[in-house]
Amino acid sequence: MSEEKIRFLSYEDASRLVGAIQEEEDIDRANHRILTVYSNTDKELCWYDFEEVMRDAGVDEGDPESKEKVSEYILHHLPDWVLDI
């Protein structure tokens, strides 16, 4: 079984496309948070596991720059398939 490699948009393209990143409760799993990414036209593009992003971005919740760091991480890791939505 082959895994397809995820391709990411450039930071510049992602910055133009993304309008908001919202922390939300996962409706399918109790006590689980996700980060939902919305376009400039308020269309849901994709979501990320909150804990995975915090870990991968090297962010502590108490960090005063955590929102900025999380946004930067996501803008560098926005999959190109969101353009098909």
Mean pLDDT, the chain cut into blocks of 10 residues (85 residues total): 83 98 94 97 97 94 90 98 94
In a domain, 72, yes or no: yes
Q: Does the residue 4 lie in any domain?
A: no
Q: Is residue 6 one of the residues assigned to a domain?
A: no
- Do the domain assignments include residue 49? yes
Within a domain: 67: yes
Q: What is the largest CA-CA distance in the chain?
A: 43
Supply the range of the domain harboring residue 46. 11-84
Would residue 52 count as lying in a domain? yes
Count of Cβ atoms closer than 10 Å to residue 18 Cβ: 19
Is residue 40 assigned to a domain? yes
Tell me how many domains the chain contains: 1
In a domain, 35, yes or no: yes
The answer to pTM > 0.85 is yes
Model pLDDT, residue 3: 72
21 forms beta bridges with 37
Q: Are 7 and 83 in contact (CB under 8 A)?
A: no
**pLDDT at position 2:** 54
